[in-house]
Amino acid sequence: MSQGGGAVGTYEKWEFAEGMELEKQEQRKAPKGVLSILTLSLERAVTLLYVLLALTFVFFTTLTVVNLQRVSAAWKALEQARMQSENSHTTAWHNLSEVRRVLDKQFSGELKVIRSRLLNVSQELENVRWKMTRCKEDCGKELSDRLRVLEERDVLEPVLRQLAEVKQEQNRTSALLDAALEEKRNLSEILCTRCPAGWQQFAKTCYFFSTTNKPWLAAKDSCADFNAHLAVIDTEQENKFLANHIMDNRVFWLGLTDVHKEGDWQWVDGRSISLSFWNRGEPNNVGHDGEDCATIYSTGYWNDVPCSNAESWICERSC
């Protein structure tokens, strides 16, 4: 009985030891499985980051190419308008009007869309960088170590350098668009495209030189029929322009009078005179009825004469 009992005790001890060994093996296997799952998740996260960077780069490059093509098309349109303007005066007026209409419509709408898209892309890049930073903080030390290793292997550096180049290209594209828009504005300021037939253009104003004579008030009413007014001179260049279109033996009415108060010369638009080119000794208000209306000679000098005189006149209106 004692021998049987000893055998049973030995068998129980062996079975207990085997159970402990199996339990230890299971405990060793468990951490390895968790580590493998964590490693796989981190690799997927890094792969997702690369995919996001690649998609951002492709989208931004495509948008930049499209913007450059639109800028090139705009420059070609401007160049064609300039070449056509050199062929004939009449064709130039028409072509410049069309170019201005197309540019106003194209740039006013498309530039806003382009700048909005560029702003959205910049915001998306900032969001990607922010997410990368958050991910780096959340994933812990192991992900930080892996990213550091990748940077040391020059994997991320080319991508970041390409992103910097794309951003520079974006700035250059925006500068080209701004330059094209400024060129269009300058062209619009230089060339007036809406003067009626028979009118002369200076800066952004149209002028009509009459071939008949009328008193000052009748000449004023005649200008009003054209939605215009008698000429108002604001600069020395404008005065020279008007004088150059006057024959030596003619004078023209200006929109200048002191009929409301002697000596208080005012333009027809209600402004007081601030720049004058009176001839020597003028205005002198000679005669029984006085001289209350101003005229301009071919020399560019002014003279006051009776408003009842019949003289030619100059009408002025905006383009």
Angle between the 141-152 and 2-87 helix axes, to the nearest 10 degrees? 50
Hey, is 22 helix, strand or coil?
helix
Tell me the C-alpha distance between 59 and 76, whole Å. 26
> Residue type for 26, please?
E
* Cross-strand partners of 266: 257, 272
Res 152: pLDDT: 59
Tell me the C-alpha distance between 121 and 57, whole Å. 10
Buried b (16+ CB within 10 A) or exposed e, 150-160: eeeeeebeeee
Res 250: pLDDT: 92
Is 0.85 surpassed by the pTM of this model?
A: no
Q: Which of 242, 217, 245 is nearest to 232 (CA)?
A: 242
CA end-to-end span of the chain, whole Å? 130
Res 101: pLDDT: 73
Contacts 24+ apart (CB under 8 A), 139-145: 139/42, 139/45, 142/38, 142/42, 143/42, 143/45, 143/46
Res 162: pLDDT: 73
Each residue's pLDDT tens digit in the chain (319 positions)? 444 455 545 555 556 666 666 666 655 554 556 667 778 788 888 888 888 888 888 887 888 788 788 877 877 877 776 777 566 556 656 666 676 676 667 656 666 666 666 566 556 666 666 666 665 556 556 656 666 665 555 555 676 777 777 777 777 777 777 776 666 555 555 555 678 999 999 988 999 999 999 999 999 999 999 999 999 999 999 999 999 999 888 999 999 999 999 999 999 999 999 999 999 999 999 988 899 999 999 999 999 999 999 999 999 999 8
Hey, is 235 helix, strand or coil?
coil
CA distances from 293 to 112, 155, 250, 297, 311 (A): 51, 84, 16, 14, 11
Strands 252-257 and 312-318: parallel
